[in-house]
Structure 1
Amino acid sequence: MAPYTIVYFPVRGRCEAMRMLLADQGQSWKEEVVSLETWMQSQLKASCLYGQLPKFQDGDRTLYQSNAILRHLGRTLGLYGKDQQEAALVDMVNDGVEDLRCKYLTLIYTNYEAGKSDYVKALPGHLKPFETLLSQNQGGKAFIMGSQISFADYNLLDLLLIHQVLAPSCLDEFPLLSAYVACLSARPKIKAFLASPDHVNWIINGNGKQ
C-alpha cells in the first residue's frame, strides 16, 4: 500500500507542490479524487477539521492545511535544511510563497477579468524577493536555501510555474529565477511528473481560470 493518501479535488491547486515533492523523493501515494458534487452532497466536508480540503493521510495520521502537510513531509523526508538556522530560513521562504499564492488565488477566484492587468504589473515587485534570496545562496546556483532541496523549493517551483501560465514573460527580468525553474523542472522525477497525465490533464484552479 502507498504510505500516503491525498484527498482533494481533480485540480492541481494546493496539492501540486506536495505531489512534486513526493514524486521527486521517490515516494508513492494514492489519490482520492473528490468531485464537487460529492463534496457538496456527502458528509466529507463536515468530517474535515476545517471544512476544507486537502486532507492528507500518513498511515494513521490525518493532516489538514497544505503548508502543514508540506512541513510534515519536510521533517519526515529530510527536506527542512541542515540545521535550525536553515530551517528558519526555509520557513521564511515558504511564508513568502504563501503570501503571493494568496494574492494569486484572490485574483483567480474574485477579480480575474478586472484585476489581471494590475496584478501582472505588480508581479515583478512580488517576485524580486525570491530573486534576491537566490542571489544570496551560492550565487543562485543552488536551491532557495542551503545546498539541499527543501519543501519550500517545491512550493516555490509550483508558484512560479503557475505564474508562467498566467503571465508567460513574468520571469524574463529575473535570470536566477528563470534558471531555477529550468533546473528544478529538469530533475528527472519532476520532469516525469510534469509530463504525466495526472499533471497535464488537470486544471490549475477549480474555476478553470489560469
Structure 2
Amino acid sequence: MPNYKLIYFNSRGRAEVTRYLFAAAGVEYEDVRVTGEEWAKIKADCKSPFGQLPVLEVDGNTFYQSQAIAGYVARELGLHGKTNEEEYRIYVVQGAFTDLIQKLGSAEAEKDPEKKAEIQKDVFENYIPKWLSSMEEVFQQVNGDYFAGDRLTVGDFYFFHACEYLKGINQQALDKLPGLNGLFDRIVEMPKIAAWRSKRPVTMF
C-alpha cells in the first residue's frame, strides 16, 4: 500500500472529499494540517506549480489541485466510476459542487457590507434552494441508491461535503428532498464515515 500524505489547512474545505475517500476505504494516511503562518513559510518549497493547497504526496510523488487529487484517490481506492455513464454522473455532481462553492465564495469576497448582505440573502433564499432541487432532480434520474447508480463513488462525497455544510446552516435543508435526504442519511450512518466525523478536528467548513 502506498504511503499517502495529505497537506492542507485545519479546515474541511478543498481537502475533505479526499479525506472522506480515505475514511470510506479504511486507508491510513497522514493528515497534515498547517496554519496560515506555517504555509507562508513553506509555500516556496511547495511542489505544486500553482502554489496552492491541498497537496497529496504519494511515495515521493506530488499531486495537486483538489479535484484532480480526489479523482486520483477515488480511482486508487475503487471509488471512481467504472463505466462512462458513471463517470459522467460523477462529473455532474462535481460540477454542481464547484458552482455552489463559487457562489458562496462570491458572497464572502464582497467587501461592502450592504452589498455582501444582499448577495448572501440572494444566495441562501434563491440560489441554494434551486441548487438543491436541481440536485434532487439529478438524483431521481438515477436508478439506484447513489449518484452513479448502485455503488458509492467520489460523486456522493462531493454531494455530502456540500450538504453537510448546508445542513449546518439549516438542519431542515433536505427535509423536502427525499432522494437527497436518504442519501445523506446513508452516508452519515456508514460506520467508517461516522468514525471519521467523530474524531476529525472541529471546524466551521
TM-score, normalized by the shorter chain, greater than 0.5: yes
* Structure-2 change in CA distance of 1:121 and 1:203 (3 Å): closer
* Structure-2 change in CA distance of 1:43 and 1:20 (3 Å): closer
- Whether contact under 8 Å (1:144, 1:153) holds in the other structure is yes
Matches of 2:68 and 2:3, distance apart in 1: 18
Local SS of the residue matching 1:31? strand
* Structure-2 change in CA distance of 1:72 and 1:165 (3 Å): same
Residue 145 of structure 1 pairs with residue 148 of structure 2? yes
Matches of 2:108 and 2:45, distance apart in 1: 23
Root mean square deviation of aligned Cα: 2.1
Residue 170 of structure 1 pairs with residue 170 of structure 2? no
Matches of 2:4 and 2:102, distance apart in 1: 26
Listed one character per residue, the Cα deviations across residues 133-170 of structure 1 (whole Å, up to 9, x for unaligned) are 221223xx510112111111111101110111123332
Unaligned runs of 5+ in 2: none
Local SS of the residue matching 2:32? strand
Identity %: 26
Listed one character per residue, the Cα deviations across residues 144-202 of structure 1 (whole Å, up to 9, x for unaligned) are 11211111111110111011112333222212111111111100100111111x24x23
Which residue among 122, 129, 132 is the counterpart of 1:124? Answer: 129
Matches of 2:179 and 2:108, distance apart in 1: 27
The aligned counterpart of 2:194 is 191
Unaligned runs of 5+ in 1: 205-210
Matches of 1:124 and 1:177, distance apart in 2: 13
Local SS of the residue matching 1:145? coil
Local SS of the residue matching 1:95? helix
- Whether contact under 8 Å (2:48, 2:63) holds in the other structure is no
Matches of 1:86 and 1:168, distance apart in 2: 30
TM-score w.r.t. structure 1 length? 0.86
TM-score w.r.t. structure 2 length? 0.88
- Whether contact under 8 Å (1:2, 1:29) holds in the other structure is no
Q: Offset of 1:129 from its aligned partner?
A: 1.9
> Letter of the aligned partner of 1:119 in structure 2?
V
Listed one character per residue, the Cα deviations across residues 102-132 of structure 1 (whole Å, up to 9, x for unaligned) are 2123334547851332211121111122111
Aligned pairs, number: 200
